[in-house]
Amino acid sequence: MTGDASEDRMQPELLDILKAAHEAGASDVHLVAGHPPMMRHLQVIKPLPFAMLTGPDCRRFIEQMAPREAIETYDKHKDSDFSYLVLGQARYRVNAHMQGGCASLAMRAIRTDVPPIEELNLPEVISRLTYLPRGLVLVTGDTGSGKSTTLAAMIEEMNQRYQKHVLTLEDPVEYRFESKQCLIEQRELGLDMPSFASGLRHALRQDPDVILVGEMRDLDTTALAISAAETGHLVLSTLHTINASQTVDRIIDMYPDGQQNQIRSMLASTLQAVVSQTLFARNDGKGMIPAVEVLLCTPAVRNLIREDRTFEIPNVIETNRQLGMCSLDNSILELFFNGLITREDALAQAAYPDKLAMQLAA
């Protein structure tokens, strides 16, 4: 995608690039040497009207955005994560990395305001999860599927309603909350804590009611999150899994064989819900819309987890729609019949495309 940079293209300055991307409604910005600045808009990568970037351009952008600690990490490890705020525009989650021996950046745009749940086209049951007093709630999906936004909306709903202490552990901090009814503390990996596991270990001495863990990315973090949920806290976190049964299996598979029966029992007791999201570009061009699978941990689901029968979870979801459960394919089907997504997109993201094709044709 290099192309020839025409003479009439603007020389790249960081704030000009980000302003253009913001005005175009970009979800991501990519700054790579040898390419013009690129943006992701409605899941498609497109060039912005600027001249081709050089390695020194990208290094200069890193130095303009990153705190000193993040630059030191980048120089040492060739990768660094941090956040960057453009006032009145957007907050960005930034990854600085090396590519072809040159500096490069990947930037995810995050709204500066926390959207209410009702604006996100999520099922009503998601709002109900904010009333849970304790347990583990997981929001899962691919990168860019809206997990962080859903969790932020849940936290903000609690912030409007409860007088509780909410502690978030993030990498980096994305949405910035204003404490309203709740006291909200936000700790950032690298800046405020050395690891998620360390942050979680100390969180239990900080009197939280609700703990948000940016990602359960390793065994230590997962074990501590489950322990926190066991001891009476509401723990919210994410995993990069695409459905409920895979989520349960991924957690159990983190543990050595000899501990898996024990973790099945612990997970069966603490897990409250799994919400799995996939984003679609809307037919009308008005942004993105999620398809959402929801698993609620009824006694039947807890038994399946405990007895290592997670392959039966999809059947339980199908037969418990009246409780608010929903399979991914049923959610996709609803979006299609409401005229919000195309048939091609629906089949491309379906868990069971052959079955969905027959339902679409009915």
pLDDT score at 102 = 95
Same structural domain, 271 and 142: yes
The CA distance from 57 to 60, in Å, is: 5
pLDDT band at residue 190 using 50, 70 and 90 as cut-offs: confident
Q: To the nearest whole number, what is the mean pLDDT of the chain?
A: 93
Domain residues for the domain of 96 are: 14-110
pLDDT of residue 137: 98
Is residue 38 assigned to a domain? Answer: yes
Q: What confidence tens digit (pLDDT) does each residue in 54-86 have?
A: 999 999 999 999 999 899 999 999 999 998 999
pLDDT digits (tens, 9 = 90+) for 253-296: 999 999 999 999 999 999 999 999 999 999 988 889 999 999 99
Answer yes or no: do 43 and 172 share one domain.
no
Q: Are residues 134 and 102 in the same domain?
A: no
How are beta strands 102-110 and 90-99 bridged, if at all?
Answer: antiparallel
Question: Do residues 130 and 33 share a domain?
Answer: no
Listed residues 78, 110, 142: the one ending a domain: 110
Mark whether 71 and 175 lie in a shared domain. Answer: no
Residue pLDDT, tens place only, 104-137: 999 999 877 898 999 999 999 999 999 999 999 9
Structural domain ending residue among the three candidates 91, 110, 129: 110
Residue 131 has a CB neighbour count (10 Å cut-off) of 11
Q: Can you give the CATH number for the domain in which 239 is found?
A: 3.40.50.300
Pair 42, 285: CB distance under 8 Å = yes
85 and 44 in one domain?
A: yes
Q: Based on the structure, what is the number of domains in the chain?
A: 2
273 alpha-carbon distance from chain centroid? 16
Whether 7 maps to a domain, the answer reads no
Residues 33 and 160 in one domain: no
Percent of the chain with pLDDT over 70: 97
Pair (201, 319) in one structural domain: yes
Q: Let me know whether 50 and 163 are in one domain.
A: no
Boundary-marking domain end, from 110, 140, 160: 110
Amino acid at site 216: M
62 domain-assigned: yes
Q: Which residues pair with 310 in a beta bridge?
A: none
